[in-house]
């Protein structure tokens, strides 16, 4: 049987077990599912794109692909930045975007049960109606889905104090690589029965199972935040302020860095007037209630001033404070308007933040590459953004060399190649260096146990033969 006949059988078997409209038949529409937002990460042409609406439909897709030996690439909203959702040639892209039900919000137990296609901000808004809060808040929260957030263990602005997605996932329903629909985890406040398979799935980037339902822990709505802004002459000076905050034992609810390239891009897009005032802005927030919050805000201000801020102030205007954080969220899409952006995601110990920022500056100079910086600076998660002109192949090669140098520097400083975006395709070499052969063998053993035929997102994180 030739390839076209095999492809026809695969699509026919998929269609026979699915309601009408689940299988994408328009090639132009299908091409839109071929890759995520990772610049220059390779991708193939999918044999089929399926948009199931139920867990049973997901199981049907996996079982058909298992019979045919076809790769399955799970996909959320496609907002990823590492190539983790990129299509594999003649594989099946399984999009969970239509699984959008918030099944339950339990105010007494402080939990929510949702399908993977629920948008992060939609869940947060629904929880707010019950006086509750779902903390993980990636910059992509208005578009990214809970399933994708779970797959990459997404963080966000407030994770410096409240943790990342893994800290809030209580339980999961998912389809394994053998086509079984299983539940792991719990709804109780405590539980240690068996291995933590829920935690294992979080951050697995679709390589161990296709998530069909997520149970998340919620917190009570928090007190209003106090905002402190500091202007600095360089990223390194701002990095010293980050280290000073850590040394002071402060626990801000956010500590974000935005450099002059990002500020200028946001100004050009939204005319906010920020780039005329500072080279680097460091934004701190504290949400402790009452006098404790006031004291923490003053202590943050003192750390900024001690580290050499050219200007530092506590904001008394909530609208102004919100505008500053909105500029932080707009930085990435603003820079995308300038040309291809290769996004880094290294994380280093907080004490190493100034040195890591200095090394990023040196990499930019050495490789003649424009690098903008945004960062969840409070937990050492830095996002250098390498910007090139469209179609400039030489600039692309220089940017990729700078990318590799930054990864190596992060590992050397005791950090990791990815804090929240995932390994995907772009960080596989970095993972090999960071983990080493023995640990990679453990990863492969887990993968083989849950996906013995290797059909779930093969080649992502690490290739099977590595």
Phi, psi angles (nearest 5°) of residue 450: -90, -20
Tell me the per-residue pLDDT of 244-300, one tens digit each, with 9 for 90 and over: 999 999 999 999 999 999 989 998 888 877 777 789 999 999 999 999 999 999 999
Confidence band (pLDDT; 50, 70, 90) for 327? confident
User: Which is it for strands 381-387 and 341-343: parallel, antiparallel or unpaired?
Assistant: antiparallel
- Go through 389-428 and write b for each residue having 16 or more CB atoms within 10 A of its CB, e for each that does not: eeeeeebbebbbbbbebbbbbbbebebbbbbbbbbbbbbb
Widest Cα–Cα separation across the chain? 75
Tell me: do 268 and 373 sit in the same domain. yes
Give me the mean pLDDT over the 133-143 stretch. 94
Tell me the per-residue pLDDT of 14-41, one tens digit each, with 9 for 90 and over: 999 999 999 997 888 999 999 999 999 9
Tell me: do 90 and 110 sit in the same domain. no
Per-residue model confidence (pLDDT) at position 317: 82
Give me the mean pLDDT over the 354-360 stretch. 97
Residue 305 lies in a domain: yes
Residue ending a domain, choose from 95, 125, 148: 95
Per-residue model confidence (pLDDT) at position 339: 86
Tell me: do 250 and 361 sit in the same domain. yes
Residue 325 lies in a domain: yes
Q: Could you tell me what percent of the chain has a pLDDT over 70?
A: 99
* DSSP letter (8 states) at residue 419: S
Question: Who contacts 158 (Cβ-Cβ below 8 Å, separation ≥6)?
Answer: 135, 136, 137, 253, 254
Q: Is 129 exposed, middle or buried (0-12, 13-18, 19+ CB in 10 A)?
A: exposed
Tell me the per-residue pLDDT of 44-85, one tens digit each, with 9 for 90 and over: 999 999 999 999 999 999 999 999 999 999 999 999 999 999
Per-residue model confidence (pLDDT) at position 119: 98
Tell me: do 26 and 157 sit in the same domain. no
CATH number at residue 91: 3.30.43.10
Phi, psi angles (nearest 5°) of residue 147: -60, -45
Q: How many domains does the chain have?
A: 4
Residue 20 lies in a domain: yes
**Cβ(7)–Cβ(90) under 8 Å?**
yes
User: Which is it for strands 181-185 and 72-75: parallel, antiparallel or unpaired?
Assistant: unpaired
pTM of the full predicted structure? 0.94
| 177-181-185 Cα angle (round to 5) | 100
Residue 269 lies in a domain: yes
User: Which is it for strands 370-376 and 102-106: parallel, antiparallel or unpaired?
Assistant: unpaired
Tell me: do 348 and 282 sit in the same domain. yes
Give me the mean pLDDT over the 7-18 stretch. 94
Give me the mean pLDDT over the 332-354 stretch. 93
Per-residue model confidence (pLDDT) at position 64: 98
Residue 420 lies in a domain: no
Tell me: do 14 and 80 sit in the same domain. yes
Give me the DSSP letters along 52-94. Answer: --SHHHHHHHHHHHHHHT--EEEESSS--SSSTT---TT-EEE
In the chain, % helix, strand, coil (3-state, to 5) comes to 40, 20, 40
Tell me the per-residue pLDDT of 452-462, one tens digit each, with 9 for 90 and over: 999 999 999 98
Residue 262 structure tokens: 């990002």
Q: Tell me which of 93-102, 204-213, 316-325 is least confident.
A: 316-325
Residue 421 lies in a domain: no
Q: Could you tell me what percent of the chain has a pLDDT over 90?
A: 87
Closest to 184 (Cα-Cα) out of 167, 202, 159? 202
Tell me: do 184 and 321 sit in the same domain. no
Tell me: do 262 and 344 sit in the same domain. yes
Tell me: do 36 and 171 sit in the same domain. no
Residue ending a domain, choose from 193, 220, 247: 220
Per-residue model confidence (pLDDT) at position 466: 58
- Domain that residue 440 falls in: 427-466
Cα(102)–Cα(116) distance, integer angstroms: 9
In Å, what is the CA distance from 328 to each residue of 12, 48, 139, 259, 292?
Answer: 47, 37, 8, 10, 26
Confidence band (pLDDT; 50, 70, 90) for 3? confident
Residue 419 lies in a domain: no
Residue 287 structure tokens: 């949400």
Tell me: do 158 and 193 sit in the same domain. yes
Tell me: do 19 and 55 sit in the same domain. yes
Give me the mean pLDDT over the 160-172 stretch. 97
Residue 422 lies in a domain: no
In this predicted structure, the answer to whether residue 2 has a pLDDT above a threshold of 80 is no
Per-residue model confidence (pLDDT) at position 101: 98
Angle between helix 235-247 and helix 290-306 axes, rounded to 10 deg:
140
Tell me: do 111 and 51 sit in the same domain. no
Residue ending a domain, choose from 367, 389, 412: 412
CATH number at residue 330: 3.40.462.10
* DSSP letter (8 states) at residue 369: -
Per-residue model confidence (pLDDT) at position 465: 62
CATH number at residue 129: 3.30.465.10
């Amino acid at each position: 049987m030739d390839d076209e006949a095999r492809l026809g059988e695969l699509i026919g078997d998929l269609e026979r077990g699915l309601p009408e409209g689940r299988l994408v038949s328009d090639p132009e529409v299908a091409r839109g599912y071929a890759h995520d937002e990772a610049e220059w990460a390779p991708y193939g042409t999918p044999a089929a794109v399926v948009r199931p609406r139920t867990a049973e439909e997901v199981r049907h897709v996996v079982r058909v692909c298992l019979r045919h030996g076809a790769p399955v690439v799970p996909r959320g909203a496609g907002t990823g930045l590492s190539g983790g959702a990129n299509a594999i040639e003649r594989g099946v892209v399984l999009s969970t975007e239509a699984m959008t039900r918030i099944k339950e919000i339990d105010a007494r137990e402080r939990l929510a049960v949702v399908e993977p296609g629920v948008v992060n901000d939609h869940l947060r808004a629904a929880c707010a109606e019950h006086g509750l809060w779902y903390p993980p808040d990636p910059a992509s929260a208005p578009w990214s889905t809970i399933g994708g957030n779970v797959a990459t263990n997404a963080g966000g602005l407030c994770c410096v104090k409240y943790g990342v997605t893994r800290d809030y996932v209580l339980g999961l329903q998912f389809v394994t690589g053998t086509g079984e629909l299983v539940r792991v985890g719990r709804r109780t406040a405590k539980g240690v029965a068996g291995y933590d398979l829920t935690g294992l799935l979080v951050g697995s980037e679709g390589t161990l199972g296709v998530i069909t339902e997520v149970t998340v822990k919620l917190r009570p709505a928090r007190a209003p935040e106090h905002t402190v802004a500091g202007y600095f002459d360089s990223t390194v000076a701002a990095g010293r302020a980050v280290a000073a905050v850590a040394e002071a034992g402060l626990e801000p609810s956010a500590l974000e860095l935005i450099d002059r390239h990002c500020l200028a891009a946001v100004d050009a897009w939204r005319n906010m007037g920020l780039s005329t005032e500072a080279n680097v802005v460091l934004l701190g927030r504290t949400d402790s209630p009452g006098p404790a919050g006031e004291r923490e805000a003053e202590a943050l201000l003192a750390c900024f001033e001690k580290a050499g801020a050219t200007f530092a102030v506590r904001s008394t205007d909530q609208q102004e404070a919100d505008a500053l954080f909105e500029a932080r969220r707009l930085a990435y899409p603003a820079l995308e308007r300038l040309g291809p952006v290769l996004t880094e995601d290294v994380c280093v110990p907080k004490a190493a933040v100034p040195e890591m920022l200095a090394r990023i500056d040196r990499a930019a100079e050495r490789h003649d590459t424009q690098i903008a910086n945004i960062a969840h600076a409070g937990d050492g998660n830095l996002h250098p953004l390498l910007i090139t002109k469209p179609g400039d192949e030489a600039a692309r090669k220089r940017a990729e060399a700078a990318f590799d140098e930054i990864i190596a520097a992060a590992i050397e400083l005791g950090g990791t190649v990815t804090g929240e975006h995932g390994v995907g395709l772009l960080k596989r070499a970095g993972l090999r260096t960071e983990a080493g052969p023995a640990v990679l063998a453990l990863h492969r053993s887990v993968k083989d146990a849950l996906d013995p035929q290797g059909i779930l997102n093969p080649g992502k994180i690490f290739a099977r033969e590595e």
